[in-house]
Amino acid sequence: MTNEEFETYFLPKYDLVIRAISWKLAQTNDTLAEDLYQEGLIALWNCNPGRAKDNPDAYIRQALKFRMIDYLRRERIYNTESLDARLERGEQLVRDVAGDFDLVMPPVSLQSSRNDVSKHFKRNLEEEEE
C-alpha cells in the first residue's frame, strides 16, 4: 500500500472505526485511547485486504480490533480505573501474606460506622461554627 492510497482511501474510511474501537477498549482512559488509536493506524497501514477471501471490510475491522487487544495484553493493561477513584469509593489498601498490596472493600458494618463517625464530626463542626 502506498502512502497516497492510505491517505486517500483507507484513512478516511476507517478513521472513525479505529477511534470507536479504541474508545470502547479504553473506556475512560484518554491516554490509553490515544495509544490504541495509534496501534490501529499501524494495523491499518500493515493490513493487506487482498488476503481477505470474502469480505475485505470485515477483515480489516477484525485486524484493527485484534491488534488493539494484543496491545492491551502486551502492556498488561487490564484495569484502567485510577487508584484515587477506587479509594474515594471506599476501597482500602491491604497488605496480604506475601507482602503485596491489594484493594478491598471493608465490611458493611465498618462502612456504616465510618459514615456515622463522619456525620458526628460534621455535626460537631456545624455546632462550633454557630
Tell me, yes or no, if the pTM score tops 0.85. Answer: no
Between 2.60.120, 1.10.287, 1.10.3470, 1.10.1740, what CATH number should domain 3-75 receive? 1.10.1740
**pLDDT 10s digits, 59-115:** 999 999 999 999 988 887 655 667 777 788 888 878 877 777 777 777 665 444 455
Using the predicted structure, report yes or no on whether residue 27 has a pLDDT greater than 80: yes
Interval 27-40 mean pLDDT = 89
Structure confidence at residue 15 (pLDDT): 92
Half-sphere exposure of 129 (CA within 13 A, CB side): 6
Higher-pLDDT residue of 19, 5? 19
**Average per-residue pLDDT for the chain:** 79
**Residue 52 CB contacts under 8 Å (≥ 6 apart), including other chains:** 58, 59, 60
Using the predicted structure, report yes or no on whether residue 54 has a pLDDT greater than 70: yes
Q: What is the secondary structure of 63-107 as a DSSP string?
A: HHHHHHHHHHHHHT------HHHHHHTT-EEEE-TTS-EEEEPPP
Q: Where are the domains of the chain?
A: 3-75, 83-129
Task: Work out the widest C-alpha separation in the chain, in whole angstroms.
Answer: 78
Higher-pLDDT residue of 119, 90? 90
pLDDT confidence of 18, banded at 50, 70, 90? very high
Contact 50, 59 (CB under 8 A): no
At 3 the three-state DSSP class reads helix
